[in-house]
Amino acid sequence: MKVVVPGGTGQVGRVLQRSLAAQGHEVVVLSRREGVVEPGARLVRWTGRGPGAWCREVDGADAVVNLAGRSVSCRYTDAHLRQMMRSRVDSTRAVGAAVAAASRPPRVWLQMSTATIYADRSDEPGNPANDERSGVLGGEESHVPLYWEYSVRIARRWEAAQQEADLPHTRRVALRTAMVMGPEQGGVFDVLSALARVGAGGPVAGGTQYVSWIHEADMVRAVDLLLARDDLAGPVNLAAPHALPQAELMRVLREAWGRRVGLPATAGMAAAGAWALRTDPELLLKSRRVSPGRLLDAGFELAHPTWPDAARDLVAHVVRRPEGVGLVGTLREMRRGTAA
């Protein structure tokens, strides 16, 4: 197939590039900046806002996997939140317009979304995990900071933008994605591992808030399934079936690294640490409990369905990576991604 990947230069995009190219597909990455792509892929410039020469790549392509959007690993200032909204909605509308104008439109459009669209339910521990059928969307919780509601609003408008165009020949899927855990330096797993290794990876604000996650290998396999299955459209949760409280997630991760000590942190301490890393405590404090209902119903079997297995596998990959496991490199890569 020919697969066009707008915004495919981030961590998730690089993983998808490698997987798609390894399968023999033609991979075209759309980026606002010049950059290096994975072997087997090529880069085409776009603005992420309107039509241009890049639209010729969409016309005749078999699939589009749109990952474009400003990184959420930043301080949630008003300016940054508005940039998140614009970058996601504008780029999605641009892709929709290109698909609508194509003489040979792609048969499928996978659009990145987020598990953040679901409500924070940390005050109701007995509730089941959010699946696509019965999950509760967020935006009206009285117990969370007001700007968390804006994150949900971003997610809702992001998905709505995919549905605006009249595309009778293109199947559309919204990828409600949990935290993607991969061994790359500067990614979320690497940062959590750095905390675990230095003894700071304990419960945050009590640690009862749920963390939903997916191993990057299963994320790639889920994308392959959704590209192939013509009967799957609409929102699909990309998450492992077993979300777990933050305190438990970090305890298992410390064990995978052979560490015992994990100092706890208050919400205020988490906010101070997030500020120092140029990110936001919402990523640690919001409870995300998501279940991949539609993937499981479709017969999808995860290679890493449980966190202990996934954590051990990822630790083994981190240990083997050429750049090693240094904390300085982790923080440098994280700050570089935030700046981008």
Sequence-distant (≥ 6) Cβ neighbours of residue 310 within 8 angstroms: 181, 213, 215, 240, 304
The residue that leads in pLDDT, 88 or 276, is 88
Average pLDDT of 273-295? Answer: 82
Average pLDDT of 34-43? Answer: 91
Helices 216-228, 11-22: inter-axial angle, 10-degree rounding: 60
Domain boundaries, the chain: 2-339
pLDDT at residue number 132: 96
Most confident of the following: 79-88, 308-317, 321-330: 308-317
pLDDT at residue number 310: 98
Checking if the pLDDT of 327 tops 70, the result is: no
pLDDT at residue number 270: 80
pLDDT at residue number 36: 84
Q: List the alpha helices (DSSP H) in 127-266.
A: 146-164, 188-197, 216-228, 246-256
Q: List pLDDT tens digits, range 108-139.
A: 999 999 999 998 876 555 678 899 999 989 87
The structure tokens listed for 148 are: 């968390």
Q: List pLDDT tens digits, range 196-241.
A: 998 888 999 999 999 999 999 999 999 999 999 999 999 999 999 9
Checking if the pLDDT of 335 tops 60, the result is: no
Q: How many CB atoms lie within 10 A of CB 100?
A: 16
What is the percent of the chain with per-residue pLDDT over 90, rounded to a whole number? 67
Q: List pLDDT tens digits, range 161-185.
A: 999 999 999 999 999 999 999 999 9
Average pLDDT of 294-309? Answer: 98
Question: How would CATH label the architecture of 2-339?
Answer: 3-Layer(aba) Sandwich (3.40)
SS3 108: strand
Average pLDDT of 82-99? Answer: 94
DSSP 190-208: HHHHHHHHTT--S-BTTS-
SS3 8: coil
Checking if the pLDDT of 332 tops 60, the result is: no
Checking if the pLDDT of 247 tops 70, the result is: yes
pLDDT at residue number 287: 86
pLDDT at residue number 339: 38
Q: List pLDDT tens digits, range 47-86.
A: 999 899 999 999 999 999 999 988 876 777 888 888 888 9
Helices 188-197, 246-256: inter-axial angle, 10-degree rounding: 70
Per-residue pLDDT band at 144 (split at 50, 70, 90): low
Mean pLDDT over all residues of the chain?
89
